[in-house]
């Protein structure tokens, strides 16, 4: 049995169906990328896993435990953390407070403030300023650090590179190997296909709420990906 096992997952926003029968499995320590155009359902899928969007599935298991019906606040304590799209730092909290609040669920593990500061030294210098006063790249570092502070077993990252300069994106992605070295599984939603293919063990391509293609990056051709990404 896989670490995260999802079978036939559907999700709705009111009457609008956003996801149609998604199947996905992620192994412990594996890095999986979800690619696809805007509105393909990638973010909704991540939000379904975190409990922010209600969903139903034939099988929705994480480490053998069902996630169906669980509240978002409880799912973090099980070891699933998310770096949300747009960072979503808390404006009234300083950088350090944003990081500390990430450990609210008090899940035991190796991630501490010191460890996050070692990974992103820029943040330590600016620990007392409001999180939202930082540059976009630094804010993304805080968002990643904040998620790691919950000591997750699986980290969901929604559009890490969105709106950032290439050099900053490199800084952000340079941190991924250290996270992987901890045995953390990663599910990365990314519009930057090359970035996703470079880092992932497996790739799922979303199209209009369905998975149109999946496989190992080396096994997929550019044409296959283009067809799955943009449609026929």
Partner 1 sequence: MIEWANTIIQGILTGGLYAMFAAGLAIIFGIMRLVNITHGDLIVLAAFVAMIVIEVTGVNPFISMIAVLPIMFVVGYFLQRGILNFTLGDDLLPPLLVTFGISIVVQNVLLEIFTADSQRLKAGTIETMSLELTEGLSIGVFPLIIFITAVAMIVCLQMLFNYTRIGRAFRATSDDATTAQLMGINHKHIFGLAMGLALVLVAIAGVLMAVRTNFDPTVGPSRLLYAFEAVIMGGLGSLWGTLIGGIILGVAQNIGAKIDPGWQILFGHIAFLIVLVFRPNGLFPRTRDD
Cβ distance to partner 1 smaller for residue 55 or 212: 55
Number of chain positions touching partner 1 (CB under 8 A) = 28
Exactly one of 25, 70, 77, 119 binds partner 1 (CB under 8 A); which one?
Answer: 77
Could you say whether residue 73 binds partner 1 (CB under 8 A)? yes
Whether 131 and 95 have beta carbons less than 8 Å apart is answered as yes
Could you say whether residue 56 binds partner 1 (CB under 8 A)? no
Whether 173 and 195 have beta carbons less than 8 Å apart is answered as yes
Exactly one of 150, 161, 195, 207 binds partner 1 (CB under 8 A); which one?
Answer: 150
Q: How far apart are CA 143 and CA 5, in angstroms?
A: 26
Work out how close the CB of 50 gets to partner 1 at its nearest, in angstroms, rounded to a whole number.
Answer: 6
Could you say whether residue 38 binds partner 1 (CB under 8 A)? no
Work out how close the CB of 16 gets to partner 1 at its nearest, in angstroms, rounded to a whole number.
Answer: 18
Could you say whether residue 101 binds partner 1 (CB under 8 A)? yes
Q: How far apart are CA 108 and CA 152, in angstroms?
A: 9
Cβ distance to partner 1 smaller for residue 86 or 177: 86
Exactly one of 37, 100, 162, 168 binds partner 1 (CB under 8 A); which one?
Answer: 100
**Helices (runs of H) and strands (runs of E) counted in the chain:** 10, 11
Exactly one of 12, 20, 70, 93 binds partner 1 (CB under 8 A); which one?
Answer: 93
Which segments within 96-161 are labelled E, that is strand? 154-158
Across 135-170, b (16+ Cβ under 10 Å) vs e yields eebbbbbbbbbbbbbbbbbbbbbbbbbbebeeebbe
Q: How far apart are CA 201 and CA 181, in angstroms?
A: 14
Cβ distance to partner 1 smaller for residue 92 or 194: 92
Could you say whether residue 52 binds partner 1 (CB under 8 A)? yes
Could you say whether residue 174 binds partner 1 (CB under 8 A)? no
The tokens of 77 are what? Answer: 């304590």
Could you say whether residue 151 binds partner 1 (CB under 8 A)? no
Q: Apex CA 29: angle with CA 28 and CA 31, to 5°? A: 110
18: which strand partners? none
Exactly one of 18, 61, 76, 197 binds partner 1 (CB under 8 A); which one?
Answer: 76
Could you say whether residue 88 binds partner 1 (CB under 8 A)? yes
Q: How far apart are CA 227 and CA 186, in angstroms?
A: 25
| Interface residue list for partner 1 (CB under 8 A) | 50-52, 71-74, 76-77, 81-82, 84, 88, 90-93, 97, 100-102, 104-105, 107, 130, 146-147, 150
């Amino acid at each position: 049995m896989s670490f995260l096992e999802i079978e036939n997952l559907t999700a709705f926003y009111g009457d609008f169906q956003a996801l149609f029968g998604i199947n996905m499995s992620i192994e412990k320590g594996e890095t999986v990328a979800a690619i696809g155009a805007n509105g393909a359902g990638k973010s909704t899928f991540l939000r379904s896993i975190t409990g922010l969007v209600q969903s139903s599935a034939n099988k929705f298991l994480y480490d053998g435990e069902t996630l169906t019906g669980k509240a978002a606040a409880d799912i973090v304590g099980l070891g699933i953390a998310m770096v949300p799209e747009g960072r979503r730092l808390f404006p009234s909290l300083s950088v350090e407070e944003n990081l500390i609040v990430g450990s609210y669920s008090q899940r035991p593990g190796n991630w501490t403030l010191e460890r996050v500061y070692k990974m992103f030294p820029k943040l330590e210098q600016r620990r007392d300023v409001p999180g939202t006063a930082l540059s976009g790249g630094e804010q993304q570092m805080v968002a990643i650090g904040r998620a790691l502070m919950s000591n997750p077993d699986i980290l969901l990252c929604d559009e890490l590179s969105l709106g950032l300069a290439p050099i900053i994106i490199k800084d952000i992605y340079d941190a991924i190997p250290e996270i992987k070295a901890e045995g953390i599984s990663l599910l990365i939603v990314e519009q930057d296909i090359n970035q996703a293919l470079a880092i992932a063990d497996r790739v799922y391509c979303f199209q209009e709420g369905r998975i149109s293609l999946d496989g190992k990056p080396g096994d997929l051709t550019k044409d296959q990906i283009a067809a799955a990404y943009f449609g026929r």
